[in-house]
Chain A
Amino acid sequence: MKTIGIVLAGGQSKRFGEPKALALRRGKPFLFYSVEALRPIVDQVVVVAQPHIQKQIQLKDVQWIEDVSQHKGKGPLAGIYSAMKHHGATWYIVLPCDIPFIHETIVTALKQQADDAFDAIVPYVNRRPQPLVAIYHHRVKSLIYDCLQQGEYRMYTFLSSCRVKHIEMKEEQPFMNINTKEQYYKWIG
C-alpha cells in the first residue's frame, strides 16, 4: 500500500516574521524534522512550498511541489490537494513544517492506525484534534477539491464531513507548533 508523506511548508509565517520552515532548532531547519520523521515510514516525501524556500534548502530524496495554480497559498487543504494531485497513493501522512519536536515514533504510531474504513486518522492531544498531523485516505481528494472550488479553505469544515478515526495521544511536545518569535525563544532559544 503506497504511502506518501506530505510536508506543508507553503504558509506565509506572518506571525513569525520569516519563513518558519527555515527556522533552526539545534542547527537544523524546522522543515528537516518533519521530513526526517516521515522519510523512514513513507514511500515518498513531498514538500509543498514556494520556490524560494526550496532554493534555500538542500534535501535528498524529496519531491518539491507548489500549490496548484487555482488555489495557490490557500492554506493546508490546498497543499494537501496539490500533493495528492501530483502523487498518487493510498494514504497520505500530513505534517506541518513548524513542529520541530516531531519524531518518527509518532508517525509510526499513526500509520499503524491506518484503517480503510475511515477517511482520516486524526490524533487528539489534550482533547484537541491535530488535523495537520494526520493521515488521509486518497478518497478524500474529491471532497477537498469540492471544498476548494467552493472557496472553503478551512480544515475544520472539511473534516466535519469525513469519517474520522480519533487516536488519543499522550505526548504533547511532538505536536507543539511554533508560531511566534516569543514561542521560539521560549521553547528553542
Chain B
Amino acid sequence: MVYDVYGRPLLDLRMSVTDRCNFRCTYCMPDIEGKQYCFMKREQLMTFEEMERLARLFVQLGVRKIRLTGGEPLLRKNIDVLVAMLTNIEGVQDVALTTNGFFLKKYAKKLKDAGMKRVNVSLDALDDRIFMKMNGVGVCSTHILEGIDTALAEGLTVKVNMVVKKGLNDSEILPMAYFFKKKGITLRFIEFMDVGSLNGWKLDDVVTSKQIYDMISEHMPLEPVAPAHVGEVAKRYRYVGTDVEVGFISSVSAAFCSGCTRSRLSADGKLYTCLFAINGTDLLSMMRAGANDEQLLTCIEHVWRKRADRYSEERGEQTAWNGKRIEMSYIGG
C-alpha cells in the first residue's frame, strides 16, 4: 500500500474514458452561448490496452476499486470490452461506472455480462421542466428512469446521484426522496461544487446536506448507518423501518479530504490527485515514449507519496478559486 503526505492510502482509481458528453448539465459542461467544447481527438485518448495496463499497475500499488467516468462513459465505443478487461485484473474487487443513464437501456446487459455489478446514475430532477433545463439538451426524466429499470432488471445495483443547486432543483429533493425510497434505490444528494471554471459557483447556490437532511427527516424519519469502508464519501442514513438508504455527499459543507483515497485519470492519461487539481502527471506520454512497468510504477508511487491536496478543506467558506483549473467533464467528478 502507498500512503500520501497525510497518510491517506491509494485505494481507488477513477478513470475517465472520454471527455465527450451528450448532456450539457449546468454544473458540469454548461451550454454557454458561443461556447464550443473542443473534445479530445481520438489519438489523444488512452486505448483500452493502455487503460488496462495502467489499471493493473494501480492495482499492484493497492487500488481495489475502479470507477469509469467521463464525460459520459457510455459514449465510448465498446465500453463493455474495457469493463471485461478490467474485471479480469487480479486483485480488482469492483469495477463500477457513473453515467447520465441515457444509453443505459442499450448497455445494461452488456455491462452486466462484462462483470460489472453496480452503476451510479446521475439524475437531478423528476419534473421534466427542471430536468430538461438542467441537462441542457431537453432530455426527459422518464428516459433515464427507463434506463435505471433496465439496469435493475439485468441485476445491476443502482444508486442515483442528485446534484442540488439552490433555486434550480431544490424543489425536487422531496419528490426524488419519496420516489426512490419507494423504488428501494439509494439516492445520494451531492452539494453543488465549485469544480472547474465554467459553472459560476457561488456558496449561496449550495443547499447543504444538513438542510436536505432536515427537509427529508421532517417527512420520513432517518437513522444513521455505519460507514462500510474507509474513505466513504457519503454519510449514509436509512429510512426508519426500511432497509432503503439515502446518502449525503457534503463536498462543500463538510469536506472529506482527510479520508480521500481516490486517484483520477483523465481520458488522455493524466494522473490527478484531487478533483480540484490544476496539474496532472502525463502517464500516457510516458507509456507512449516506451516507459516500462517499473518506471510507471515508480512514477505513480512518487506522485502519490508527495500528494498533499486537500482543496475542499482549505477552501472553507471562501468563494471559489478564480484561476486555471480542470473541468468536471474532463476528469469525471
Chain B residue, CB-CB nearest to A139: B77
Contact between A156 and B137, CB atoms less than 8 A apart: yes
Contact between B138 and A157, CB atoms less than 8 A apart: yes
Min Cβ gap A151→B in Å is: 8
Contact between B105 and A150, CB atoms less than 8 A apart: yes
Interface readout for A133-177 with B: 1 if CB under 8 Å, 0 if not?
Answer: 000000000110010011110101110111110100000000000
Interface readout for A14-33 with B: 1 if CB under 8 Å, 0 if not?
Answer: 00000000000000000000
Select which of A142, A149, A152, A161 is within 8 A of B20 by beta carbon.
A161
Tell me, in angstroms, the Cα distance from A117 to B42 when the chains sit together. 6
B194 at interface, CB cutoff 8 A: no
B288 at interface, CB cutoff 8 A: no
Q: Hey, which chain B residues are within 8 Å of A143, CB to CB? A: 75
Contact between B21 and A160, CB atoms less than 8 A apart: yes
Tell me, in angstroms, the Cα distance from A156 to B138 when the chains sit together. 10
Select which of B39, B77, B103, B137 is within 8 A of A150 by beta carbon.
B103
Tell me, in angstroms, the Cα distance from A160 to B75 when the chains sit together. 11
Q: Hey, which chain B residues are within 8 Å of A146, CB to CB? A: 103, 106
A157-B137 contact, Cβ under 8 Å, with A143-B75, A166-B36: yes
From B23, B43, B103, residue with most partner A Cβ within 10 Å: B103
* Chain A 85-142 residues near chain B, CB threshold 8 A: 117-118, 127, 142
B330 at interface, CB cutoff 8 A: no
Tell me, in angstroms, the Cα distance from A110 to B17 when the chains sit together. 30
Chain B residue, CB-CB nearest to A124: B36
Q: Hey, which chain A residues are within 8 Å of B103, CB to CB? A: 146, 150
Q: Hey, which chain B residues are within 8 Å of A164, CB to CB? A: 36
Min Cβ gap B134→A in Å is: 14
From A146, A150, A156, A161, residue with most partner B Cβ within 10 Å: A161
Min Cβ gap B127→A in Å is: 20
Contact between B106 and A163, CB atoms less than 8 A apart: no
Contact between A161 and B22, CB atoms less than 8 A apart: yes
A142-B22 contact, Cβ under 8 Å, with A149-B106, A150-B105: no
Contact between B75 and A161, CB atoms less than 8 A apart: yes
Q: Hey, which chain A residues are within 8 Å of B20, CB to CB? A: 161-163
Contact between B34 and A127, CB atoms less than 8 A apart: yes
Chain A residue, CB-CB nearest to B147: A150
Q: Hey, which chain B residues are within 8 Å of A162, CB to CB? A: 20, 39
B41 at interface, CB cutoff 8 A: yes
Task: Offer 19 A-B interface pairs, CB within 8 angstroms, sorted by A.
Answer: A127-B34, A142-B77, A146-B103, A146-B106, A151-B143, A152-B143, A154-B137, A157-B139, A158-B22, A160-B21, A161-B22, A162-B20, A162-B39, A163-B20, A163-B38, A163-B39, A163-B40, A163-B42, A164-B36
**Beyond known contacts A160-B23, A163-B41: 9 more, CB 8 A cutoff:** A118-B41, A143-B75, A146-B103, A157-B22, A157-B139, A160-B31, A160-B136, A161-B22, A163-B42
